[in-house]
A and B are shown apart, each in its own frame.
Chain A
Amino acid sequence: MSLAAGDPLELKVTPDPYVTVRYAGASGDFNPIHIDEDFAKQVGLPGRILHGLWTMAQVARAHTDAAGGPEGLKRLSVQFRGMGRMGEEIVVTGTVREVGDGIAVVDSQAEQAGSRLIRNAVAEIAVS
């Protein structure tokens, strides 16, 4: 697998209405803001919101897909921002910043309906 500076990376995914329920079970994070519409509204949210770590998993998947598998992903750092919702497409975009010493450094973000859910994501992918 080869990556060069300037190479783009993209992943699009539209979360279905039950994705937070499946992710709660899979991850063990049962915070009701993700799975209970009434509770989410009571605490001032527009409704149930995505788990930030699910969205981070989409960013990670964009990188492992680009790298041809999970072996190369050595580091991923993200900042969480806006609240992700079900039913609207999320677009992960990234660019290889530089390649050196066997490591490609990739900058990326995740956006939904013009609002950034994840920003300043930085990844390191081992390249041969």
Chain B
Amino acid sequence: MAVKTEAIGKTYPAVLYAVGREKIREYAYAVGETNPLYLDVDAARAAGYADVVAPPMFAVVYSGRAVTPALFDPEVGINFANMLHAGQEFAWGPLVVAGDEITTTTEVKSISERGGMEFYEFETVSRNDRDETVCTGTWRQIVRGGGSS
């Protein structure tokens, strides 16, 4: 199969995510977090934060919905039946707290083919409403070739 590389460098419309207190709590419970900074407003305020703090991996919530249109973009051409999430990287800046509004942009960083496998890499950059970069995400997908599913 021939991999399409025209989409390298393509960007997608920015996605705005409003961070809610109960969404942070829901996420924290789902991943087993017990740190009161994530769950208890008083504890978060006593530690100097405006509201409950989002666990770092909450980045998947605000940036995940920004990367999805790129994964489904026909110009990128991912065959979902054979796709694997191969790797993930996040680099964090200031912590996100409830009440923040996070804007995330997505770019197709690379598309390549090697040994019958296709490699796709996407980058998300998320900024808060104070224009601080709170998270840069690198999303690596592999598509197994040869129509084996």
Contacts and interface: CB of A to CB of B under 8 A. Distances in A.
Interface of A: 13, 19, 22-23, 25-29, 52-54, 56-58, 60-61, 64, 69-71, 73-80
B143 to A, nearest CB: 14
Interface string B82-114: 001111111110010000000000000000000
Nearest to A120: B87
Contacts of B37: 69-70
A61 B53 CA distance: 14
Nearest to B27: A26
Interface in B42-65: 53, 55-57, 60-61, 64-65
B interface, by DSSP: helix, strand, loop or mixed? mixed
A57 B26 contact: no
A110 to B, nearest CB: 13
B29 interface: yes
B32 A61 contact: yes
A71 B64 contact: no
B73 interface: no
For the complex of A and B, 6 pairs with smallest distance between CB atoms: A26-B30, A77-B89, A57-B31, A57-B57, A22-B30, A26-B27
Contacts of A80: 84-88
Contacts of A76: 56, 89-90
Contacts of B85: 52-53, 80
B27 A60 contact: no
Contacts of B61: 26-28
